[in-house]
Amino acid sequence: MVSHNNHRSVGRPREFDEQAVLNAAMDVFWRKGFEAASLADLCKATGLHKGSLYSAFGDKHQLFMRALEHYSHCEFEEVMEVVSMRASPLQNIRNVVAKIMATADKDKGCMMVNTLVELAPHDEIVRTAVRAFGEKRIAAVAEMIAAAQQAGEVRQDLSPRKLAMHLTMTIAGANTMMKGMTDKDIALEILNDLISCWT
């Protein structure tokens, strides 16, 4: 939201760390969901007053969308960090899966999956965003699988996109099941067994 006081706002730096605020808001929405997260929760977590929060990020829904985008960006950065270690293409995939499972939160699950269940059925903006984030995930995994095929580590008769969809859906399911039901080590073993079927 742009301030109506143009003389005071032009060139005036924000007095907070935007990334830190997004991290805090993301954690609140991730733990509580959109509906249960109150303005008081968000103000307390971010350290900002209502006016400052809304001035910087818009209303609660707009802040949620920024937090969701931040979640996707952080996840993608983690994947790129693992890939930069320059293991073999197939080992890169296993390392990425291991990283995802190691950082998965048993209590909070996956924010994307949580959002898909809570809001996507009746919120077109959220549904479109979650679909786009999902496509980004699938495309990144499919690219790694195609590289593994070129290296002779994955069968040539398999579709990288279908394998990527299968793997990402299984990871999402594992994240959901881990919320008090499935051990991380067991989930990772199942995912590695799935990857082994590609060779």
pLDDT digit string (tens) for the chain, length 199 residues? 333 444 434 444 457 789 999 999 999 999 999 999 999 999 999 999 999 998 999 999 999 999 999 999 988 888 888 877 778 999 999 999 998 888 777 778 889 989 998 998 999 999 999 999 999 999 999 999 999 999 999 999 999 999 999 999 999 888 888 776 668 888 899 999 999 999 9
Using DSSP's 3-state secondary structure scheme, residue 87 falls into coil
Report the pLDDT value the prediction gives residue 199, as an integer from 0 to 100.
Answer: 93
Report the pLDDT value the prediction gives residue 93, as an integer from 0 to 100.
Answer: 95
14-196: which CATH topology?
Tetracycline Repressor; domain 2 (1.10.357)
Phi/psi of residue 76, each to 5°? -65, -40
Buried b (16+ CB within 10 A) or exposed e, 40-50: ebbbebbebee
Q: How far apart are CA 112 and CA 172, in angstroms?
A: 9
Report the pLDDT value the prediction gives residue 78, as an integer from 0 to 100.
Answer: 83
Task: Return the number of other C-beta atoms located less than 10 Å from residue 160's C-beta.
Answer: 20
pTM of the model: 0.81
Q: Which amino acid is at 31?
A: R
Using DSSP's 3-state secondary structure scheme, residue 33 falls into coil
Report the pLDDT value the prediction gives residue 161, as an integer from 0 to 100.
Answer: 98
Across the strands, what pairs with 109? 105
Report the pLDDT value the prediction gives residue 14, as an integer from 0 to 100.
Answer: 59
Alpha helix (H) residue ranges in the chain: 6-9, 18-32, 39-46, 50-57, 60-83, 89-103, 111-118, 124-150, 160-177, 184-196
Q: Which residue ranges make up each domain of the chain? A: 14-196
Using DSSP's 3-state secondary structure scheme, residue 194 falls into helix
